[in-house]
Amino acid sequence: MAIVDFLEKNAKLYPNENSLVEINPANQPEHTVTWREYNLIESTSSDRYRREMTWKEFDIKANRFANLLLTRGIQKGDKVAVLLMNCLEWLPIYFGILKTGALAVPLNFRYTAEEIQYCLGLAEVDALVFGPEFIGRVEQVFDHLHGVNTFFFVGDNKPTFADSYDRLVSYCSSTAPAVELKEEDDAAIYFSSGTTGFPKAILHSHAALVSACLTEQNHHQQTHDDVFLCIPPLYHTGAKMHWFGSLLVGSRAVILRGVKPEWVLQAVSEEKATIVWLLVPWVQDILDALERDDIKLDNYRLAQWRLMHIGAQPVPPSLIRRWKQVFPSHQYDTNYGLSESIGPGCVHLGMENIHKVGAIGKAGYLWETDIVDEKGVPVAQGEVGELIVRGPGVMKCYYNNPQATAEILKGGWLFTGDVARMDEDGFIFLVDRKKDVIITGGENIYPVQIEDFLRSHPAIKDVAVIGLPDPRLGEITAAIIEIKEGMSCTEDEIAEFCVDLPRYKRPRTILFAPVPRNPTGKIEKPKLRAMYCGERLVEAQTTH
């Protein structure tokens, strides 16, 4: 079975039922919309507050794009990258790619122009679909995208080097292309990165995508009557693989383009959402807004909301206790996974195990877990070791990188690089990460990229970037900077220098101090964390 079979099944079983709804709160009507008016809002373009799509329309749009790609020479085994903000077009484009037998290659919408160029080359991409937010970045590297021969633009006022997706797709056949797909066929390439900061291309099969559907639905018991509110970016395996539970049962999903607490609760209320996947910062923002009386629960219809679950970063148990005080009837789950394991689900807490908040849980449906020492030998219960997982969602390989593949895949097991322990009840707790990746607000930040940038400053001798604990974002980025002898520099000067970095990569804390290195020349980051991760410093810096 291929993942597209689920879409085609839903189009036959539920042709006139809504599959996807897009809510754009920035375009909300100026007056207060009544329930009746809300349901009658006409929506046909991306500047509307609300747009919707039935399962039949979803399948037709995927078929049309698949046939458009085939007319451009895209064939089975080719790669088509998607660089879009969350929108109603995103998933039909993704499935259209898959229907040709080509591989979908989602790109992080925060990538710089250089990162876009690097990832397109690494994955050997043949075509790129992009939106208006990315015209400038694509233009910067256009002359260097030698392998990319086809460009489709989603939106108005297309650049001259691209073809209009919206115009051309309307002329294509709505019949599914006659391409045979098997579960072992390659389906998608996602990007991840280790401590070096250089992305790796993760190759997944249709079987892995299908397994994500089965795991997600087993964990959260989606039915056809559920409504999933999707807020995180669709380029990430997290959001999409949680939506796969909706795909499996043909239930509706709502794509919310915004994260303000009032927007989240309004969408839950108006769309009758029953399942919401949130990140830690958004949970905290909702609770803080309620405590300040900025928003009031009585203004929303929330009785149908049954499940709130979290992933992408460690979850403070105190945060969930606060949430349960406000929403005592909610089920709760937390999910652990990697892009190499087709996203969340290889470990999960379980809705029935809220008493174990703080753990990431047990092996997910269809998955196995173990904790091993440096030689790969299982450790005793309670001892610390590296978490390894095995299951149908493990990647096929790092694309064109056999050395990196061999380092992480051993005997069918995926070595996660995360240090963990198991308690007496079999629940797994993360202890630390072997990798130096900083996770802030659910997004990965790679220290080496920031370090390399800062080292170009004429006054900087050495620099190390680490994550400091933060109660809202999980971690914030701190730069420990060693200044060259005889020179001086201020925090304001460093902040001004970092304006050329994307905002989310700019250090939130700047510390002037020596950078320790070991005899082999490696920065001793564990020592830095021990020095600077104290509670007093975090509190002081997060209020700065």
pLDDT surpasses 90 at 218: yes
How far apart (Å, rounded) are the C-alpha atoms in residues 109 and 503? 13
Task: List C-alpha distances in Å: 522 to 317, 464, 479, 525, 530.
Answer: 34, 10, 16, 9, 16
Considering only 94-103, 321-330, 336-345, 523-532, which range has the smallest mean pLDDT?
523-532
pLDDT of residue 43: 38
* Rounded percentage of the chain residues whose pLDDT exceeds 70: 91
CA dihedral 227, 233, 237, 240 (to 10 degrees): 30
pLDDT of residue 522: 62
DSSP string across 134-188: GHHHHHHHGGG-TT--EEEE-SSS--TTSEEHHHHHTTS--SPP-----TTSEEE
Considering only 127-131, 149-153, 256-260, which range has the smallest mean pLDDT?
256-260
Q: CB of 277 within 8 A of CB of 254? A: no
Tokens of 67: 């046939």
pLDDT surpasses 60 at 290: yes
pLDDT surpasses 80 at 313: no
pLDDT surpasses 90 at 190: yes
pLDDT surpasses 70 at 194: no
Q: Which of 98, 82, 129, 24 is nearest to 236 (CA)?
A: 82
pLDDT surpasses 70 at 433: no
Q: Which residue has the tokens 């979803």?
A: 58
Considering only 264-268, 308-312, 445-449, 497-501, which range has the smallest mean pLDDT?
445-449
Query: CA angle at residue 112 from 111 to 117, to 5 degrees?
Result: 90
Task: List C-alpha distances in Å: 402 to 200, 399, 409.
Answer: 11, 8, 10
Q: Which residue has the tokens 């989602």?
A: 106
Mean pLDDT of 213-234: 96
Per-residue confidence band for 461, with pLDDT thresholds at 50, 70 and 90: confident
pLDDT of residue 47: 52
How far apart (Å, rounded) are the C-alpha atoms in residues 506 and 326? 34
Task: State the average pLDDT for the chain.
Answer: 89
Q: CB of 255 within 8 A of CB of 230? A: yes
Top pLDDT among 313 and 120 is at 120
For the entire predicted model, the pTM comes to: 0.82
| Secondary-structure percent of the chain, ordered helix, strand, coil, rounded to 5 | 35, 25, 40
**Could you report the per-residue pLDDT of 110-132, keeping only the tens digit for each?**
888 999 999 999 999 999 999 99
pLDDT surpasses 80 at 36: no
381 phi/psi in degrees, rounded to 5: -55, 130
Mean pLDDT of 480-493: 90
Q: Which of 71, 98, 70 is nearest to 82 (CA)?
A: 98
Domains and CATH numbers, the chain: 4-311 (3.40.50.12780), 438-542 (3.30.300.30)
